[in-house]
Amino acid sequence: MNHDLTPRPLNPAPQAPLITWPNGAKSAVFIGFDVDAETAWIGNNPSNVDRMVTTSHGGYDARVGIAKILELMDELALKATFFTPGWTALAHRNACERILRAGHEIGHHGYLHKMPDRDRLDETFEEVDRGFEALQQALGVRPVGYRAPSGENFPELLAYLAKSGIRYSSSFRDDIRPYRHACSNGSPGPVEIPVNFAFDDWNFGMSSRSSPRPLFGHNAVLSLWIDEFEATHAWGGVTTLVLHPQVSGRPMRWHVLRDFLRHVQAKGDVWIATGQEISDHFEKVERQLIAQ
């Protein structure tokens, strides 16, 4: 593919509207989990499928992580969105059914967690289709939210997602408020609920032989998260979490997340909502603005 390096805004989406949040809340928090399980280890590196110890990082999801995260959400009476690759739903159907039964939202997270690649459009679209099919088959759901596996996207994929019934995406890092994507043909794309990369627990709590990273302790992560959240709250934005049960479902990290969420709840003026609730609210605000 020829790469077009002409100077232009690489994301043509219009500016985010100045959104107000329901019930007088000053900001929003979107708790998003990526239930990658083993796909985090085999999606972009299929030869890992024969490495049982490497993939056992992801196996933690179904054995421990998902159950502990559900226990925490129940204790704090919170609802979250669980972006689940189709492969995970088929491989760990019981654990994923528990997510659904507890009343949480299931989102689309590809099929095998392959990073979308503009040079391989057919394969990228097939990941989307197979993801939908697997979630339908395993859980009987048709998700409206999408978080890109390995967090990548491009114009053809945004248009394909919109055509496939995806109403919101949560991968981009270019705002603190939700906005509406614009497809290259001028038609509206999905709503974006942008993420803050500081809330990706993988950065602080996942280290492996093949991908070693420094690990950060309780106080380092909690103080970073509280500071980021407080500043986003003051600016009236949305704090979007990118969490993984194989990280935040581990014993010490579970307590970091619990302490952080209790801090958010104690503020009293934060709207904690699922991705679908936030995109519903955004669309309502959008309709009001158009009617004016």
**Site for Zn ion, rule CB under 5 A:** 34, 36
Two structure tokens written together for 253: 């990290």
Beta carbon of residue 29, minimum distance to Zn ion (angstroms, whole number): 20
By beta-carbon proximity to Zn ion, the closer residue of 34 and 201 is 34
Beta carbon of residue 79, minimum distance to Zn ion (angstroms, whole number): 20
Residue 147: helix, strand or coil by DSSP?
coil
By beta-carbon proximity to Zn ion, the closer residue of 34 and 38 is 34
Contact 195, 242 (CB under 8 A): yes
Beta carbon of residue 135, minimum distance to Zn ion (angstroms, whole number): 15
By beta-carbon proximity to Zn ion, the closer residue of 111 and 282 is 111
Two structure tokens written together for 58: 């992801």
Residue 225: helix, strand or coil by DSSP?
helix
Helix (H) or strand (E) holding 180: strand 179-182
By beta-carbon proximity to Zn ion, the closer residue of 19 and 145 is 145
Beta carbon of residue 14, minimum distance to Zn ion (angstroms, whole number): 28
Looking only at the bridges linking them, the beta strands covering 188-192 and 179-182 are antiparallel
Give the nearest residue (CB) to Zn ion: 34
Beta carbon of residue 36, minimum distance to Zn ion (angstroms, whole number): 4
Q: What CA–CA distance (Å, rounded) separates 202 from 223? A: 16
Beta carbon of residue 176, minimum distance to Zn ion (angstroms, whole number): 22
By beta-carbon proximity to Zn ion, the closer residue of 149 and 271 is 149
By beta-carbon proximity to Zn ion, the closer residue of 36 and 201 is 36
Residue 75 phi, psi dihedral angles, 5° rounding: -60, -40
Q: What is the DSSP string of 68-119?
A: HHHHHHHHHT---EEEE-HHHHHHTHHHHHHHHHTTPEEEE--SS-PPP-TT
